[in-house]
Amino acid sequence: MVSYIIRRFLLMALTLFGMSVLIFVLLRLVPGNIVDLLFDSAGFVNPADKALLEEELGLDRPIIVQYFDWITGLMQGDLGYSYVSEQPVWTEIAPRIPITAKLAVLALVFSIIFGVPLGVISAVRQNTMTDYILRVVSLSGLSLPSFWLGLIILMLFVQWFGYMPIYDRAPESFWIELGMYMIPAAAVGFRSSALVMRLTRSSMLEVMRQDYIRTARSKGASERSVNYHHALRNALLPVVTIIGIEAAFLIGGLIVTETVFNIPGVARFLVEAIRWRDYPIVQNLVMLIAVVVVFTNFIVDLLYAALDPRIKYSE
């Protein structure tokens, strides 16, 4: 098990290194840069001033030198300075990370507490009216875009309660903050819960057809024990995989949701940074998302051993 963890850490490091190179190079391949945007907005181009600004921002140096400076600073905790605000990147990003993290966690909790139980119920009551209703709900969740659902929620709140549940100020208490995030979290988590529900249902149905389930029933085990002790535990392995993928997806999938609900989070800030070609902001935010994705996959791999004792990580 220790050797497996070490190998996984090395693979994580290699993956993150490859991602850092890819992120850095792709950003430089995009036509135009911050200097072009600044001079275009001013309506004139003075080649001498433009060259001086590029030199001040370090954009005139070879790309490999720029990458080495960035990755060295990143390992030392120095993320550089924003080209637009001229503030340290960490100062710009840090206040927004908890906002997006809270929204993503609430959306993930929503998808789990609704998706897994309803998927189990749908499988246990296969081909009943309950199953048909839950399958329609899950298909609706997969079909409705989160931004469209968010707009519908906003219009319904205006129609029924006379106000819009958008982020307009810093919350004064935990409960106000929870209520402020619950609505956008439910909007973005509805799709995830539908996906988790369908996968839980299909996985449960597959497991319930196995021989050991019939053996458990023939030995007199109760339906509750068969469904929730024997079947559910073995059916959770692919469900945990999709939950891990959704957890990573939510970080990048909140861009439109944060815009619709006026939430000043990381995802919305990333779009603004891309528009201004603010390389330090963009590459550090995308790198943060890559770290979250890789680390989530690592946690999922470790959960396999706890959920399925048949899996052995040995030499």
Q: What is the pLDDT of residues 110-134, one digit of tens each?
A: 888 888 889 888 888 888 898 899 8
The predicted model scores a pTM of: 0.76
Q: Which of 298, 278, 273, 254 is nearest to 102 (CA)?
A: 254
The pLDDT value recorded for residue 315 is 47
DSSP string, 251-292: HHHTHHHHHHTT---HHHHHHHHHHTT-HHHHHHHHHHHHHH
Say whether 81 sits in a helix, a strand or coil. strand
- Residue 46 confidence class, pLDDT cut points 50, 70, 90: low
- CA quadruple 303, 304, 307, 310: dihedral sign: negative
Q: How far apart are CA 304 and CA 110, in angstroms?
A: 22
pLDDT tens per residue, range 169-219: 666 677 777 777 788 888 888 888 888 888 888 888 888 887 777 777 777
**Residue with tokens 């720029």, as numbered in its chain:** 66
Instruction: Give the domains, in start order, of the chain with CATH numbers.
Output: 28-94 (no CATH), 97-307 (1.10.3720.10)
At 10, which helix (H) or strand (E)? helix 2-29
